[in-house]
Amino acid sequence: MDYLQINRVNSLNGKIKISGAKNASLPLIAMTILAKNSVKIKNLPHVADINTLLKLLSNLGAKCDRENNPEITTVDTSSLTQTKATYDIVKTMRASILVLGPILARFGHCEVSLPGGCAIGQRPIDLHLKALEQMGATIDIQAGYIVATAPDGLKGCHIIFDKITVTGTANIVMAAALADGKTTITNAAREPEVVQLCEILNKSGVQIDGIGTAILTIHGTSGKLLDINEFCVIPDRIEAGTYLCAGAITKSELTLTNVNAAHLGAVLSKLEEMGSKFTITEDTITIHPSDIIKPVKVVTQEYPGFPTDMQAQFLALATQANGTSIIEERLFENRFMHVSELQRMGADISLNGHVATVNGGTKLSGTDVMATDLRASSALVLAGLIAEGTTAVHRIYHLDRGYDSLEKKLQNVGAKITRLKE
């Protein structure tokens, strides 16, 4: 098993190219199930979750190729024959549930193992299942599998999500794309990743109204498969936010390339509150950090609010602020597992339910710490950059699920970080 060894660095300097967004790539790969043609995808990140989903599609009979050209991944689902997503793959990644909607819409039946993934709290899929039932599907849970059937095809209807769900919105949008009639989703997720999915489907012959709003209307093709042209995955806003925090916490000027600042409004706003300034172009962001990091209050919310996937990184940054910061997590009930590891490094953090109080200005000391989920692992890396001595971040298979070449990108801007074997 690999781990990262990090030594304190005085400053970083240079450029970091942002990879394609993992959270956009996953539904877009699942979307290829709706295509009658071979689909070329540019800018897929090289991370474990992407490889897992491509393997899942391959097991179902699809042909997936990213070896001949690492810059372009080709996915051909015309040969897809199986409709059962087995536990051995689904257990490693909750996003595997994204194949449920498109497979059911295309074949009229589907079996998907109940999902696994990061242990950051309950992420129930009942909203997905309830919506599919409204569309005419019959759903049973049998021996740990979701067994869904719709022999007469899915029917358009009006779906109101009780709470905003990103994967739920993506799943139902894909299911509705091949459904018979018009489907309206109220309280839909507005994340850029959902927007890109809708935009590509819209260009592929599925009329979708309200893209980017909380009410989506999808005009189904009544089972007609789509002709999906080559597309490029949007930049990863969470990866970008993480490297902006690296600049802020080390008080270093960094330039991010291949990035979309419009997707980072809440993150940039909070970093400005903490004293950073930015130079922004069409596809770059340069952070000009302050010598004094100001305390901040952060409340995680659905997009366009502050992303829960940036909470851990800001908590690490807040340990170096000149004052007390309040970090409130409203989306997941078990997403403060990184706090105990940061405390081991000397951070002064107290937890009260879903609120963390961070007393800043503490000197952190390098030690052995353990990553508990994807974003927690990046927070520990940030802390290691400014901790005295040596930090060893273990269980970085969490990190590899969502960050493309993190240690190499940080090495290129001067970080003392090395991947080693246990």
Mean pLDDT of 148-155: 96
Q: Whole-prediction pTM value?
A: 0.96
Q: Look at the alpha carbons of 66, 71, 75, 76 in this order and tell me if their dihedral is positive or negative.
A: negative
> Does the structure show a pLDDT above 60 at 269?
yes
What pLDDT score does 376 carry? 87
pLDDT of 410-419, one tens digit each? 999 999 999 9
Distance (Å, rounded) from C-alpha 27 to C-alpha 169?
10
At 117, is the pLDDT very low, low, confident or very high (cuts 50, 70, 90)? very low
Q: Which residue has the higher pLDDT, 118 or 157?
A: 157
Task: Write phi, then psi, for 22 (nearest 5 degrees).
Answer: -55, -45
> Does the structure show a pLDDT above 60 at 335?
yes
Strand pairing partners for 201? none
What pLDDT score does 337 carry? 86
Q: What is the mean pLDDT of the chain?
A: 94
What pLDDT score does 345 carry? 98
Percent of the chain with pLDDT over 90: 88
Contact 346, 363 (CB under 8 A): yes
Mean pLDDT of 122-142: 88
Mean pLDDT of 224-234: 98
What pLDDT score does 94 carry? 77
Residue 233: which of 46, 10, 15, 421 has the closest Cα? Answer: 46
Residue 319: which of 300, 344, 302 has the closest Cα? Answer: 344
Task: Write phi, then psi, for 418 (nearest 5 degrees).
Answer: -135, 140
Given 118, 198, 232, 245, which residue is catalytic? 118
Mean pLDDT of 54-72: 92
Most confidently predicted of 16-20, 124-128, 351-355: 16-20
What pLDDT score does 118 carry? 39
What pLDDT score does 213 carry? 98
Residue 65: which of 35, 100, 29, 21 has the closest Cα? Answer: 29
At 206, is the pLDDT very low, low, confident or very high (cuts 50, 70, 90)? very high
Mean pLDDT of 185-210: 98
Q: Is 118 a catalytic residue?
A: yes
> Does the structure show a pLDDT above 50 at 119?
no
> Does the structure show a pLDDT above 90 at 90?
no
Strand pairing partners for 112? 85, 146
At 239, is the pLDDT very low, low, confident or very high (cuts 50, 70, 90)? very high
pLDDT of 13-23, one tens digit each? 999 999 999 99
> Does the structure show a pLDDT above 80 at 251?
yes
Distance (Å, rounded) from C-alpha 54 to C-alpha 65?
9
Compute CA distances 129 → 132, 171, 181, 354, whole Å.
5, 10, 19, 28
Mean pLDDT of 284-294: 98
Percent of the chain with pLDDT over 70: 97
Paired tokens of 108:
């009229």
Distance (Å, rounded) from C-alpha 262 to C-alpha 192?
9
Lowest-confidence region among 77-81, 169-173, 268-272:
77-81
> Does the structure show a pLDDT above 60 at 397?
yes
At 124, is the pLDDT very low, low, confident or very high (cuts 50, 70, 90)? low
